[in-house]
Amino acid sequence: MPHSTYLPEKMGSASIEPTGSFEAGSYQEFTLTYTAGYFGIDDTGSLKIVHRFASDMGKPQFDNPAAANYVTVEASNGAVLQVEYDGKRNIRPWDKTLYIKVVRGFLRVGDQIVVRFGDRRQGSPGMRIQTFCEDSFEFKVLVDAIATYNYVELPTQPEIRIIPGPPLLYKAILPTQRPGKAKFRLCLKGEDRWGNPSDLCDQTFQLHANLPVDGLPAAVTFANGEFAQVIEGLSVAQAGDLIIDLIDADGKVVARSNPCRFAETSALLPYWGDLHGQSEETIGTNSARDFYGFARDKAFLDICVHQGNDFQITTEFWNWLNELSAEFTENDRFIVFPGWEWSGNTGLGGDRNVLHMHEGRQIHRSSHALVDDLSDIETDANSANDLFEALKDEDCTVFAHIGGRYADIKVAHDQRIEKGVEVHSAWGTFEWLVQDAFEQGYRVGILSNSDGHKGRPGASHPGSTSFGAYGGLTCVLAPEFTRAGIMQGLRKRHYYGTTGNRVILDTRVELEEDAELFADDPRLGDVASEMVRDAMMGDILRCGEREVNFTIEVHGAAAIERIDIRNGLETLEVFRPYSEAELGRRIRVIWEGSEYRGRGRETRWDGFAELTANGFESVTPINRYNLDRQFEQTATGRLEWSAITTGGFGGFEAILQDPVAGKLRIDTDLVKQEINVADIGRDEMIFENGGIERRIRVFRMPDKNPYNALRIERHISLRDDRDNALYVRVTHEDGHYSWSSPIYLFR
C-alpha cells in the first residue's frame, strides 16, 4: 500500500448517513462522522476524504450555502479546522481530496469531525453524486494523527451504492452484417439520463422491421429488474439492409436499430469492439470482471480489451487479467485479448496499447511508479523504443493512444507491430495523430475506443468530468469470429473507427489493370503479394495506373451530413448529399477543436447566440453529454450555453422562424461574430481562433435530410511522389464521426 500501515485500528473510525442505494447523478445529503481513535489527531494533523479520479461527483464548495455541492465541516470539541478541496492531493487513483487540517487545537479519543456533503440546512439542493453506477462507492478516509503527513487508511471505509435511474433513452442493436440466412439476435436496452443501462424499464413496445424477419415477435415487454431484452434466433429470407424500430404505445419510434446488411457471400464480417478501458484495480470503476461482463451483456460488444496503466498493474493483477481474458473468450460470441496500456512519459514516446495473442506473456511497464514490488524491474521498457524492442518477437499488436499523455509517433514507431492509431476516445478526437503518421510516411489504420474509466466499455458516456466525448468503437473486419481472426483483421488494418455509433462503412479501390497487393507493409522486407484488381480499407498496393476508382458506401441510423474524401493530408472533396435548392430553415452552429496536444487541451465555448429581426422556432443541442452544463433559452429568446471541446465538436441546431431575415450574433470568449442570416448557406462559414482546429462553423441544411445511406464513386488521380492514402471521414447528423482506415497505393 502507498500509505502507512501503522496501527490503523488505533486511528479511529468513520461512518456515513444515510446508507443504501442512490440514483446516479441525483442530489443527496450525506453526513460523514469521523471519530478519533487512541492517538486522536495532534495540532496540525489532518484528515483526507478522497474519491477516485474517475468520479464526477459535484466539486465541493464552501461559500454558497444555497448552491449545490455545499460542504460544511466542524469539530465536536471546537477545534479550528482548515478545509480545502483539491482534485490532485492524494496518490492516484484516489486523488480527489477534501483536506481537513486541525490548525488550532487537537482531538482526543472519541472527539469527532462531522462533514456534511450537500448540507441542506441553508437551502442547498444537496451534493450531486457521480453520474455512473458503482456497487461500493467509498468515502475513503485517511488519517494523519501524529502530524507527520504520513497517512493511514482506516480499516473500514464508509460507502454507498450508486444505481441507475429510470430509462429516458432506448437503444436497439443489431449485428452490422451477416451472410444470407444466418441466425442473428436483436439486443434492446433502456438508459437513464446519464447513459447507465437501467433496470427500471417497465413498458411494452411494438417491433417493426423494414424486411420480413422470421422469429421476430410483434411486441417486447421490459420488466423491472431486467437490464436488457435479447431476442435470439432471428433470420431473414432476403438480401438487404435490415432496420428494426422500437415503438411505444403512442406510436412514437423510441429507438431505431443500426442497419444490418444481409448478403449471400462475404469473406470478412464486421465485429464491434472497445479495445481500451480500465477498471477500479487501476484508475477506473468497478472490477475487471464487471468490466468484461458489462461489455458483453450490457454494451453487446463482440470484442473487448482491458487496458490498465502499466505502472499501476501489479504482477498479481496482471495474472488475474490473464485469467479473465481466457475465461471470457468464447469463439463466435465474445473475444478478449490480454492487454495493457504502456503509459510512458510524453517525452519518451507517450501512450501505447498492447494486445497479446496469448495469455502468460511478460508485461513491460513504462515504470514501477505505483508498483512497490520491484522484483521484475529489469523487464521495464522506459521508452517507446525500448517497448518496441522488448516486443519485437511477441505475438501481439500495438496502437498509439492519446489520453492524459499523448503518443508521439515521431519519437518512436515500429511498423512491424504498431499497425494503428486511435483517433478518438472519451478524451476527445485527435485527427492530428493520423496526420503525424502521414507526415512520417507510416502506413497505419484508424481505430477508436473509449479508454473509459466509468465501468461502461462499449457504451462509455463521458458523464460530468473533463472527458469531452462519448467513447468510440472499432469495427474489425475479420475472416472468423475468433481471437486469431480478429488479430488478423487488426494486423491488416481492416477496420474502421467511430465515435460510438454503429454504421456500415465500406471503402474500396477498383483498378483497370492488375496491381500488387501486399500481405504486409513491403518496407518490412520479403513480404508475400498477389495480383488484384480491387482492394479494401487497410490494404497496401503497388500499381501502375495514374487514376483509380474509389467507392464509398455508408449506411447508418442517422442521416449523413457530409463525407470528407481525403488523400493523406489533402482533402479532395467535401461531399454533401443535398443541393442548395434543398436548403430550408435549419442551420447548425458548431464549435470544435482543442487548445494544444497535452493534458490541458480543453477549450471552453461558454457564450450565447441571438437573432435580430428573426427568432429561433426551436433549438437542439449537439453532443451535449454533460447535463450539468447550461443550455437554455432566456425569456428574450437568446440562447445561452456552457460547453467544452477536447478535439471533437459540439454545438446546436436551430430552426429559424424566417429562413433569411435578420442577423445572427454569436458571442464566446474565442469567437465573436455577427452574420446575415441570408448569407448562411450549404458551404460553411468558418471562424478560426488558433489552437488545433479551434473554431466555430455555421452552415445551413435541408429541413429534412433523407440520406441515411449513400454510395458514391470518385476517380482519384494518384500522386507519384508519395503514398496515396485514400480514406473518408463521415459526419452524421446525430453528432457522430466515422473514419475508414486508409487504402495505401504507391506507383
Mean pLDDT within 101-105: 96
Scanning the structure block, which residue is given the C-alpha cell 425569456? 635
Backbone φ, ψ for residue 576 (5° rounding): -115, 135
For 224-245, the pLDDT digits (tens) are: 999 999 999 999 988 999 999 9
Confidence of residue 88 (pLDDT cuts 50, 70, 90): very high
Q: Is the pLDDT of residue 422 over 90?
A: yes
User: pTM value?
Assistant: 0.95
pLDDT value of residue 373: 94
Would you tell me how many other CB atoms lie within 10 Å of the CB of residue 524?
Answer: 11
Q: Is 298 helix (H, G, I), strand (E, B) or coil?
A: coil
- Pairing mode, if any, of strands 260-263 and 177-179? parallel
Specify the pLDDT at position 404.
79
- State the chain's mean pLDDT as an integer: 96
pLDDT at 596: 84
Percent of the chain with pLDDT over 70: 100
Q: What percent of the chain has pLDDT over 90?
A: 94
pLDDT category at 86 given cuts 50, 70, 90 is very high
The pLDDT tens digits of the residues spanning 438-465 come to 999 999 999 999 999 999 999 999 988 7
Bridge partners of residue 209, in order along the sequence: 244
| pLDDT tens-digit series, residues 179-224 | 988 999 999 999 999 999 999 999 999 999 999 999 999 999 999 9
Residue 205 in grid coordinates:
413496445
Residue 641 has a pLDDT of 97
- What number is the average pLDDT over the span 649-668? 97
Q: Which three cell numbers stand for residue 65?
A: 450555502
Residue 133 has, within 13 A of its CA and on its CB side, a CA count of: 21
pLDDT value for 405 = 87
In order of their start, the domains of the chain are 8-163 (2.60.40.3490), 169-262 (2.60.40.10), 270-500 (3.20.20.140), 503-577+708-747 (2.60.40.10), 582-702 (no CATH)
User: What is the average per-residue pLDDT within 480-507?
Assistant: 98
489: left (phi > 0), else alpha (psi -120 to 50), else beta?
alpha
Q: How far apart are CA 502 and CA 241, in angstroms?
A: 13
Q: Residue 325: its pLDDT value, please?
A: 98
Nearest to 352 by CA among 297, 281, 419, 441: 419
Task: Give all strands of the β-sheet with 240-242 in edge-to-edge order.
Answer: 177-179, 260-263, 240-242
Predicted confidence band of residue 468 (pLDDT cuts 50, 70, 90): confident
- Residues 336-361, mean pLDDT to the nearest whole number: 96
| Count of C-beta atoms within a 10 Å radius of residue 53 | 20
Q: Which helix (H) or strand (E) holds 23?
A: strand 21-23
Q: How far apart are CA 257 and CA 245, in angstroms?
A: 6
Per-residue pLDDT at 306: 98
Whether residue 152 has pLDDT greater than 70: yes
